[in-house]
Chain A
């Protein structure tokens, strides 16, 4: 028992002494929440908008005011004609334009169909469609009000985004970010730290000692489990305080699933380290084997539904995919195990398999 405590103490000293790595491990998640939250957000505000209004009158000014009033738009130009729009789009001065017909107010007053052209810069397609739908929403709102005033009943199609009504991208990325951070800490750091012992020869000394292989492994990885757990707490707290990301379900469930996912990643890290003998190879292995799938194939950034079927199939064996479904379920939908048991079971199965494989490959090295 004192041997095991000694191992834990040793690992803690390694981590505390390696200040640079420690700083990266602690600050990286915090920094990433900020980065993803502000810089890489996929929702759009302050769209630079030009309105082409050839014959201004009360009706068109009211519509223009509606665009001015919302945070989503910043009306940078009001033009009498559409002639200069191409140049403005090309220079990036505007991202979107609303072109009203010359007889817009007139036709509207007579109950005829008034035409509005919405032009969006779709060089970045996601932003393009988002900007388009924002503008349509403003116009529909206006149309609805006129209809209400005129007493006529008009059915306006309405789409609501459930669970993320404001489409805040923070809500979407925080669960994925938790998976990402845990993968780095658990898989990458474990793989590197175990391979370092092999590289320096200290692993042999531990293996020759009366310590059991299991004790050696647990003594190595327990520290990373603790760090991973602390990172989850940090990311959840920061997401809540800075971006007001909701936590609608049980915190305990989220943390429990977090520990399960840490175990999955730890065993992946052990497996990688048992197949490699240098820190560099272990790092490349961990990056290619765990981090890339976690970023690309987990639904963290790119929706799995829109992938071709071979990638969708591969995504099924990426543990992060299942954890992200669970984390989104707990945080955004507020559901519990009654809905999330299939994913939890899959993750549990993966962990059992990986732990078995990791222990086995560690033993093979001995025999």
Chain B
């Protein structure tokens, strides 16, 4: 933790690019995410969101450009980045055949938390979610699992948490509860980097970016973007940005 973040930025991406052969999945994207911000990362399927997240989480090396996550360089300091971030994938990220308590304990161990810390945070988390430690995860309804997975991703108190479509397939009420958890985390100073296909959720974000064919098509606060592009909703903006490309590609 020698390199202190240069300004108050949790993520800084400069001309970040990733090519797979001749295909450019992420094409010179530049953006910043402020500390404690809820940043919505939008884009149609195949627009390059997952590739960008994989670069920022240290799973994939960029082809060119630069990026700093939590003040650490993605090329040389991915080990530091991994300690400072939490991650929840669009697939389910807990072990279904383990109990709630066993899952928490496993992740506590992976992030080198002491037994006392894990116990203390577990108690707090379970009472907040209203869950029993002895329940097998596979017995939980999907919405509960997602809330649990999110809380587990925050267990080691990361400075940034990446959420890849965390609410897909979840009912509207549980989605709302999920967003309450996101706001609580942001209020504690955690930066939230979230992808979603629900445009109502996009409106909840402090700022959003919309990726189109590997580039950033729009970037700003939802209200700003709506007036800038003169549209009634983010949904409308999303469709307007995505459609020409979809037509060209198809």
A interface residues with partner B (beta carbon < 8 Å): 2-3, 5-7, 9-10, 13-14, 17-18, 200-202, 204-211, 366-367
Q: Which chain A residue lies CB-closest to B97? A: A17
C-alpha spacing A209/B85, complex, angstroms: 8
A-B contact count (CB 8 A): 74
Q: Tell me if B91 is interfacial: C-beta within 8 Å of chain A.
A: yes
C-alpha spacing A236/B110, complex, angstroms: 38
Categorize the interface residue count of chain B. Answer: 20 to 34
Please give, as numbers and ranges, the residues of chain A lying within 8 Å of B109 by CB-CB distance. 2-3, 5-7
C-alpha spacing A5/B110, complex, angstroms: 9
Q: Are B91 and A201 in contact (CB under 8 A)?
A: yes
Q: Are A13 and B102 in contact (CB under 8 A)?
A: yes
Q: What's the nearest-Cβ distance from chain B to residue A357, in Å?
A: 21
Chain B 81-131 residues near chain A, CB threshold 8 A: 82-83, 85, 87-98, 102, 105-112
B40-48, B53-61, B180-188: which lies at the A interface? B53-61
C-alpha spacing A211/B106, complex, angstroms: 12
Given contacts A3-B109, A3-B111, contact A201 B95 (CB under 8 A): no
Please give, as numbers and ranges, the residues of chain A lying within 8 Å of B107 by CB-CB distance. 209
Please give, as numbers and ranges, the residues of chain B lying within 8 Å of A210 by CB-CB distance. 79, 82-83, 110-112
Q: Are B93 and A205 in contact (CB under 8 A)?
A: yes
Q: What's the nearest-Cβ distance from chain A to residue B192, in Å?
A: 16
Having A17-B97, A18-B97, A200-B96, one finds 16 other A-B pairs with CB under 8 Å, namely A2-B109, A2-B112, A3-B109, A10-B102, A10-B106, A13-B102, A201-B91, A202-B92, A204-B93, A205-B89, A208-B58, A208-B87, A209-B110, A210-B83, A210-B111, A366-B60
Please give, as numbers and ranges, the residues of chain A lying within 8 Å of B60 by CB-CB distance. 366-367
Chain B 186-222 residues near chain A, CB threshold 8 A: none
Q: Are B91 and A14 in contact (CB under 8 A)?
A: no
C-alpha spacing A211/B59, complex, angstroms: 12
Given contacts A208-B59, A210-B79, contact A3 B112 (CB under 8 A): yes
Q: Which chain B residue lies CB-closest to A204? A: B89
Please give, as numbers and ranges, the residues of chain B lying within 8 Å of A211 by CB-CB distance. 110
C-alpha spacing A207/B53, complex, angstroms: 13
C-alpha spacing A40/B146, complex, angstroms: 52
Q: Are B105 and A6 in contact (CB under 8 A)?
A: yes
